């Protein structure tokens, strides 16, 4: 069989189940399905489970509050926000606070979706 004829038979899927050529076609399809997402970024990202303009607040057992602020609500000058920028983003919801510390909330791809802020009044 010539190479052109083999490729044409792969394209039209003319081989019987259980044959070597059938197994090669199935292996190529499975390899494409499982290997492609590792090397190509299709742009699909999980969405946060809350609206982008909602600040979540919970009570910190050690005292104070823990806020989760979406990145869209924090106007930053650099890569990471300052304590003052986070406090000003939280102020319309909870009033003025003092930020004790904060950390980035990242999704699976490493993208920052929110800032977790520990603060008190």
pLDDT at 78 exceeding the cut of 80? no
Q: Given this model, what pLDDT does residue 102 score?
A: 95
pLDDT at 85 exceeding the cut of 80? yes
* Close Cβ partners of 97 (under 8 Å, ≥ 6 residues apart): 65, 87, 90, 91, 119, 120, 121
Q: Are residues 22 and 75 in the same domain?
A: no
Q: Are residues 71 and 106 in the same domain?
A: yes
For range 30-45, the mean pLDDT:
85
Has residue 86 been placed in a domain?
A: yes
* Close Cβ partners of 27 (under 8 Å, ≥ 6 residues apart): none
Q: Given this model, what pLDDT does residue 107 score?
A: 83
Q: Are residues 23 and 74 in the same domain?
A: no
Q: Are residues 61 and 104 in the same domain?
A: yes
pTM of the model: 0.59
pLDDT at 84 exceeding the cut of 80? yes
User: How many domains does the chain fold into?
Assistant: 2
Q: Are residues 115 and 61 in the same domain?
A: yes
Range of the structural domain that residue 28 is part of: 3-39
For range 60-70, the mean pLDDT:
92
């Amino acid at each position: 069989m010539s190479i052109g004829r083999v490729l044409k038979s792969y394209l039209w899927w003319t081989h019987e189940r259980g044959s070597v050529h059938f197994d090669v076609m199935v292996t190529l399809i499975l390899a494409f399905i499982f290997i492609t997402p590792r090397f190509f970024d299709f742009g699909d990202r999980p969405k946060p489970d809350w609206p982008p303009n909602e600040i979540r607040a919970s009570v910190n057992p050690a005292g104070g509050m823990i806020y989760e602020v979406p990145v869209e609500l924090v106007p930053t000058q650099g890569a990471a926000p300052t304590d003052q920028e986070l406090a000003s983003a939280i102020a319309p919801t909870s009033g003025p606070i003092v930020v004790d510390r904060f950390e980035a909330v990242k999704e699976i791809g490493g993208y920052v979706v929110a800032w977790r802020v520990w603060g008190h009044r």
